[in-house]
Amino acid sequence: MAKVVDKFTGSLSGQLGDLVYRRYKDGSVFVARQKSVNTISYSDKCVKTRNNFKVAVAFAKAANLLPDIHAIWKNSVYKGRSPYTKILKANIDGFGLNYELSFMSKDKISLSLSLPLFSKSYVNTKFILNFVIALHNPKNPDSESEFNCISDLSEIVSPDYDNFHTLETNFSSMNRDVIQEFQNAIIFFSLTNTENTKHIFSKTFHSEIEISD
């Protein structure tokens, strides 16, 4: 804490904010910025919190790259300066799906979809099938990246309700290069249609899977 010493007009010594003042006998004044004493905590709780935040940021960035997801969040009523911050803060509901995830390799993903009875009004509707994939467990134990998030999409026509329809989506070459470095994935996906003023979208579903060779 800074204090005034010597006479009424005073001279300054001590600390003011992050500045340290010293007055010497010859009348000169030395001013220096105090070194930061902030330390990073490596407690289990703090490490987990930082890791969760890194995953959330990576997920939001990947989701924001999908045009329909960006448009839906941009027009949502949720508070946020951008679609990215809205995705980071919250999630939104949509219509339901039945699904079975068949397999995933570095080249493609295969899943079976059907609409439940209460979603049958969307049968034969054109949708974008949006993926955000959280990759983890790198093949190389010395890899600097413990996880990564990618996004991809494909156009589909929604299947009949109560009848499963198998869909295969080929990944982009850029995503294939990333996927091949990992052994496991958590797959998030949803159907979207933003052609009209009123956007249509399903709930977001997720499933964990081992990446096939």
pLDDT score of 13: 46
Report d(CA 89, CA 77) in Å as an integer.
Answer: 12
170 membership: H or E segment, kind and range:
strand 165-170
Q: pTM (2 decimals)?
A: 0.65
More confident residue, 18 or 167: 167
Comma-separated ranges of CATH 2.60.40.10 domains in the chain = 58-210
**C-alpha span between 140 and 138 (Å, rounded):** 5
Task: Give me the residue label for tokens 């059907």.
Answer: 114
**pLDDT at residue 197, as a whole number:** 80
Distance (Å, whole) CA 67 – CA 62: 11
> Is residue 127 within 8 Å of 175, Cβ to Cβ?
no
- C-alpha–C-alpha distance, residues 76 and 63, integer Å: 15
pLDDT in tens, 152-165: 999 988 877 778 88
β partners of residue 212: 105
> What pLDDT shows up at residue 55?
66
φ and ψ at residue 145, rounded to 5 degrees = -105, 115
Q: Is the pLDDT of residue 96 over 50?
A: yes
Name, in order, each residue with C-beta under 8 angstroms of 85's C-beta and a sequence gap of 6 or more.
60
DSSP code at position 137:
E
When pLDDT is cut at 50, 70 and 90, the band that residue 77 belongs to is low
CATH class of 58-210: mainly beta
